[in-house]
Amino acid sequence: MIKRRPYSLPLGLVFLFFPSVLLHARVGDRPMPVGARVTGMGGAFVAVADDAYASYYNPAGLSQLERREGALTSLVDVSTRDKYLDYNDIVIYANPDERYGAWAGWFVHSGSHQKGAERPEYWFCWSYGKEVFRGLSLGGNLRYIWGRTRHPTESDQSGALDLAFLYRPVRWFSAGLLVQDLNRPHDWGEEYRTNLCPGIAFRPDKLTVIACDLYDATGETDDTYHDASQDVNVGFERWLTKKKQLALRGGAYHIGSMYKAFTGGLGVRFEIKEIEYRFDYAYFAHQKGDEEERHYLGLTVAF
């Protein structure tokens, strides 16, 4: 990693109090993927976590960043944005520091516009990750959520804590764990139970990654309407050029649940004057008859 100035950590704390950050699908909510690149990979990213979207999937992975990253992903289907309580726009800023650890701030706009009533939800989060031993990184999220998703004229708010681990003993293998909602927060009178999401990733060569995640490993949602307990996400990413300029992605999301979907995506990467630009597209196709397909576009700038 490149070294950053000592005041990067205090600046990171400032992001905790300003609109900066997050989206996540909690136990009991309808789970949806985050970020165009990860969506294309079927949402399997807990053990990969090597870009700014590690903030959501595994903040310990922020320790892998070598440059600062600014990232944006938007759901581009107008009809889908208005119809479902989905994640619409995500903005992330991630800042690595070899000495003090890496932090990230993100802001997420979610919600819907149904029957003339707007039902917004906003997420604000601060994430942190640091390598504590060779190959082992720890991290966490502090999250604040405000929204009117159930009552257009009334609002509710909650805060939550996540912990994360990433272990990469060799180049070709890594394992991760996200412990979500550690403090069991309440939202609209409902308690969200702690969600354990483990994952593994294999890199058979420098151009390929194959990943698998398990959502809600302890089965906390198996007695709820939004049951997604012990569901599997699988995905892959394959760079088609040796300089990693064009990538192909595919995956399956929440296999075995009512939310299962198939995904695909493309990635383009190039560098101009030491600034790297990444454009990502993802296609998300639900297998439920009343759900519509989704298209996501993402831009990441590393500098």
What value does the mean pLDDT of the chain take?
A: 83
* pTM to 2 decimal places: 0.85
- Mean pLDDT across the stretch 181-203? 81
Instruction: Report the distance separating Cα 4 and Cα 13, nearest Å.
Output: 16
Q: Residue 229 half-sphere exposure, CB side, CA atoms within 13 Å?
A: 11
The answer to whether the CB of 193 falls within 8 A of the CB of 177 is no
pLDDT digits (tens, 9 = 90+) for 276-289: 999 999 999 987 65
Q: Which CATH fold topology does 8-302 show?
A: Porin (2.40.160)
Report residue 174's pLDDT band, with 50, 70 and 90 as the boundaries. Answer: very high
The answer to whether the CB of 139 falls within 8 A of the CB of 166 is yes
The answer to whether the CB of 98 falls within 8 A of the CB of 137 is no
- Mean pLDDT across the stretch 230-234? 91
Residue 216 has pLDDT above 70, yes or no: yes
Range from 14-23, 49-58, 118-127 that averages highest in pLDDT: 49-58
Instruction: Report the distance separating Cα 165 and Cα 147, nearest Å.
Output: 29
Report residue 9's pLDDT band, with 50, 70 and 90 as the boundaries. Answer: very low
